[in-house]
Amino acid sequence: MHKLMMIDDDREVLLLNQKYFENEGYKISVHDNAADALRMIPKEKPDCILLDVMMPGLDGFSALPEIRKLTDCPVIFLTGKDTEEDRVKGLLSGADDYIVKPYSLKELSARILVQLRRRIPLPSTDQRSFPPLTINLMQRKVYYNETEEINLSNREYELLLLLTEKPDHIVTFEDIGNAIWNVYQESDRRSIMVMMSRLRKKLELYKGLEDCIETAYGKGYSFIP
């Protein structure tokens, strides 16, 4: 049974979500503030966290870095802020997904399932090797020269994984949006460009990886081994 942790200062929303997802077969823990939730993460060991952005005291943006110190489980932001700038900020802060209130519980459930499926471990022999880059699919880690770990966020790892599925082929903005958010809108293009820029900057620090991601202007990106 998967465990969901819900963090929201709106008790009505918490109760509604709790009832729905318990009926879906999840084990639920609810917290009306981020400080209490942080104290309970080591004990509850959630498989996915639903985190409200706008909360008194410690808000979602401030809480996320502290959550990442305790767990690498998927975190989905729930927020009433729906501008492109807000979405970019949310995704670049390290969240795995971002959904705007009011939202469909059915859609939220689908987004949770997408995140959980990505966490299913693969056989230990499964890896992708593009020397000097190696991706360990079981560990969900990326290595330089097989030994030095390249520290990527969950989102950056997913982007690199998607690009390396088809080396030397263009992965379109639409492909990326559908893979990450399960849906693509033209407004997502800037978010994708910013996230890709961050991934590139990390890879460019390593000799031999400076030009491994190529831009197909107006279309998307390709991984060049």
Q: What is the pLDDT of residue 182?
A: 78
Q: What is the pLDDT of residue 120?
A: 63
Q: What is the pLDDT of residue 184?
A: 85
Domains (range + CATH), the chain: 3-118 (3.40.50.2300), 127-223 (1.10.10.10)
Q: What is the pLDDT of residue 121?
A: 57
Q: What is the pLDDT of residue 93?
A: 79
Cβ-proximal residues to 63 (8 Å cutoff; 6+ apart), any chain = 7, 34, 37, 38, 51
Q: How many other CB atoms sit within 10 Å of the CB of residue 68?
A: 15
Q: What is the pLDDT of residue 125?
A: 54
Q: What is the pLDDT of residue 150?
A: 96
Q: In what order do the strands lie in the sheet with 3-7?
A: 27-31, 3-7, 48-52, 75-79, 97-100
Q: What is the pTM of this model?
A: 0.60
Consecutive sets of 10 residues in the chain, 225 residues long: mean pLDDT of each?
Answer: 92 93 92 95 94 92 92 90 76 84 91 82 70 91 92 92 92 90 84 94 95 94 94
Give helix 11-23 / helix 105-118 axis angle, nearest 10°: 60
Q: What is the pLDDT of residue 46?
A: 95
